[in-house]
Chains A and B, each alone.
Chain A
Amino acid sequence: MSIDIYVPRDSGALSLGAEATAQAIAKEAQARSLEVRVIRNGSRGMYWLEPLVEVVTPMGRVAYGPVQASDVPGLFDAAFHTGGKHALAHGVTDELPFLKTQQRLTFERVGVTDPVSVADYVAHGGYQGLKQSLKMTQAEVVQAITDSGLRGRGGAAFPTGIKWKTVLDQKAAQKYVTCNADEGDSGTFADRMLMEGDPLMLVEGMTIAGLAVGATQGYIYLRCEYPHAFKVLNEAIAAAYQTRYLGADVMGSGRRFDLEVRLGAGAYICGEETSMLESLEGKRGEVRVRPPLPAIKGLFGQPTIVNNVITLASVPVVLARGATFYRDFGTGKSRGTLPIQLAGNIKHGGLVERAFGLTLKELLYDYGGGSATGRPLRAVQVGGPLGAYIPASQFDVAVDYEALSGIGALLGHGGIVAFDDTVDMAKMARYALEFCAVESCGKCTPCRIGSTRGVEVMDRIIQGVETERNVRLLEDLCETMLQGSLCGLGGMTPFPVTSALKHFSEDFRSRSRDH
């Protein structure tokens, strides 16, 4: 009887040797005349265990990890292919506390299925959302999204249903659905995991969106730093075309939806929606002045949905199980679940999908297990390079849109980067400004010039030169960038800088050489 063994093809797993592990398993099985089928899945999001190998047994899928190629002969000796005991064994995967306590809706299939198999996708509940939506009118589909309370998961948290309704209400010969997959924020990898682990869910979400607003063409704008996601997406799209889930006659409905992946070229700013549209048009990724909104005048001047990967991938669940089902997760205005990414100096880095409302402390210690280095955690940055630094004294804050904004922070795309007590927060503030200088599109002055001047001011503070005067100058500069920039890059770069200054003032002032 053939044995099914799962070895991830997720970038994170590959970065730790999953390819060699998969090859070693196939080779060793052959040498032992065992009939083994190696299936390349996504990651379960427990990166301290990657490469995480799972064996299908009568008890369920049993986890072994981290498995290096050199561990493979020993695993076969221990009969791991029948779930045998071994030092690397962790028991049934779904029973691991890190996974068992999660509420995975968007990531339900990630790490479970073969990402590019339509049959596997459908067998695990895929395409139920699209099927439902085909029984509804366009307005009903849009209303369901509105009722679900789904907000843009890219960072801006704009209600998705309102955006869709605007596009639906436009009269135009051509409309577009675009997916912003330019996930450039440090500490975030949920988009990548989803595109590598369950790309068909994104394809389905975009198809539902397209049919709902009358758009026949979709584009996924993917950052070029994700070559593996590019491959998986293209394989999944080809499989969807073959099985007629994409193309001229989506699921026999007689309606068309085409989908294509376009690669970015290493510009962080292209994660800003209007800059992304410019880039999709083949131009410099300079931000546009709004209005008009992309929903009215977007790609090639036509009405366009711009949504993040996780937003679009949440759509099939809303349609398949109903708006109320989705809405019942979460609190206040933060409805549904949020895929949180634990990164940086953290023992158990990975993906945690839960309803909104968990505290930072629960995430960092209960899931994350504290720092990787074993030292005390001193600060976390939530929401990418434009997100505020939060000190340990505020780790009780709930991770939702409103609670974070209440302490002057932001949720962004749900990435949390942890730092231990060796971090130099003045250097981190300098880095935020340097990053802005490297990535500024150059269109507006506060961002283009302000970031460069900010680096110079930070250099003087770090050297201890005229500290108080330079701190005042830094605050003034941050205020100018905040008020005067055209988009979030210049407008939000002050958040990490001023939060570092506010909560970790000693890192700035103790270097002073003024007497």
Chain B
Amino acid sequence: MQQPLAPAQRDAVLRVVAANRSRPGALIEILHAVQAELGFIPAAAVPVLAEELNLSRAEVHGVVTFYHYFRHTPPGRQIVRVCQAESCQAMGAEALTEHVKQRLGVDFHETTADGQFTLEPVYCLGNCACSPAVMKDEEICGRVTPHRFDELLAQWRRKS
């Protein structure tokens, strides 16, 4: 069963739609804004968006599910992305990824039991001269060795 939208969530979705309705081709911009407000795109937001934007549910669902960035479930409080692309592989991304998974105790697309971190793969952060690269929310980190990751992780835990 699909969870209905909480009133606050519904208000947020409608607010975002109102602010962007007049922009041409605005659906992706709207989805970005919904995710920024709610942390993810709840399934129950799809019919609301469809109705408001005069699109079919299938169209909205199709867009939400096409793009890797849009989440269908709530993330942890911080999102850690580890680059998997060639340049980072050339500098040890595979071993780093194993280390990160082991340290956080989760696989890709999973959230730690305490709700602190969600781990995601990413395919290039454009930081290829400083590989391997990791991004935590919008904080980008270069030349991340397993040791440096542990230091960063300690900082992130302290901050939250």
Q: Using an 8 Å CB-CB cutoff, how does the interface string of A5-48 with B read, 1 for contact, 0 for none?
A: 00000011011100000000000000000000000000000011
Interface positions, chain B 107-136, Cβ under 8 Å from A, are 122-131, 133, 135
Is A189 a contact of B90 with CB atoms below 8 Å? no
Within 8 A of B (CB), among A143-168: none
Q: Say whether A308 faces chain B, with CB atoms less than 8 Å apart.
A: no
- Pair A265/B130 contact, Cβ less than 8 Å: no
Are A47 and B69 within 8 A (Cβ)? no
Assess whether B141 is interfacial by the CB under 8 Å rule. Answer: yes
B residues 25-48 near A (Cβ < 8 Å) are 25-29, 31-32
- Report if A417-B90 is in contact (Cβ < 8 Å); known contacts: A11-B126, A189-B126, A343-B131: yes
**B128/A187 in contact, CB under 8 A:** yes
8 Å CB interface, A40-89 against B:
47-48, 50
Contact between A435 and B63 (Cβ–Cβ < 8 Å)? no
B9 vs chain A, min Cβ distance (A): 20
Nearest B residue to A418 via CB reads B90
C-alpha spacing A441/B63, complex, angstroms = 12
The smallest beta-carbon distance between A274 and chain B, in angstroms, is 14
Minimum Cβ distance to chain B for residue A507 (Å): 15
Q: Which of A100-108, A125-133, A224-232, A450-458 is near enough to bind chain B?
A: A224-232
Set A266, A283, A344: member contacting B27, Cβ < 8 A: A283
**B51 proximal to A (CB < 8 A):** no
Q: Is the CB of A228 within 8 A of B131?
A: no
Q: How far is the CA of A264 from the CA of B59 in the complex (A)?
A: 17
Interface string of A252-281 (1 = CB under 8 A from B): 000000000011111110000000000111
**A344 and B130 in contact, given A15-B142, A184-B123, A300-B24 (Cβ under 8 angstroms):** no
- For B143, what are the chain A residues with a Cβ–Cβ distance below 8 Å? 15-16
With an 8 A cutoff between CB atoms, is B17 at the interface?
A: no
B24 proximity list for chain A (CB < 8 A): 281, 300
Query: Please, how many residues of chain B have a CB less than 8 angstroms from a CB on the other chain?
Result: 40
* CB <8 Å contact, B123 and A186: yes
Q: Does B70 lie at the interface of the complex (its beta carbon under 8 Å from any beta carbon of A)? A: yes
Q: Is the CB of B86 within 8 A of A417?
A: yes
Contact with A along B37-71 (1 / 0, CB 8 A): 00000000000000000000001001100111110
Name, among A192, A224, A226, A266, the residue most crowded by chain B CB atoms within 10 Å (CB to CB): A266
Query: With an 8 A cutoff between CB atoms, is A407 at the interface?
Result: no
Contacts known (A11-B126, A189-B126, A342-B129); A300 close to B25, Cβ less than 8 A: yes
How far is it, in angstroms, between the C-alpha of A350 and the C-alpha of B127 when the chains are bound? 10
Question: Do the beta carbons of A372 and B91 come within 8 Å of each other?
Answer: yes
> Are B129's CB and A281's CB within 8 A?
no
Q: Which residue of B lies closest to A368 (CB)?
A: B129
Would you give the shortest CB distance from B72 to chain A, in whole angstroms? 13
B66, B85, B127: which contacts A15 (Cβ < 8 A)?
A: B127
Given A16-B143, A266-B67, 7 further pairs, Cβ under 8 A: A11-B126, A12-B129, A15-B143, A224-B69, A266-B68, A343-B87, A435-B123
Q: Lowest 10 CB-CB distances: which A-B pairs, in order?
A: A349-B129, A15-B142, A186-B85, A343-B128, A282-B27, A265-B67, A266-B69, A344-B90, A47-B129, A266-B68
Residues of chain B touching chain A, judged by Cβ–Cβ distance below 8 Å, are: 24-29, 31-32, 59, 62-63, 66-70, 85-91, 122-131, 133, 135, 138, 140-143
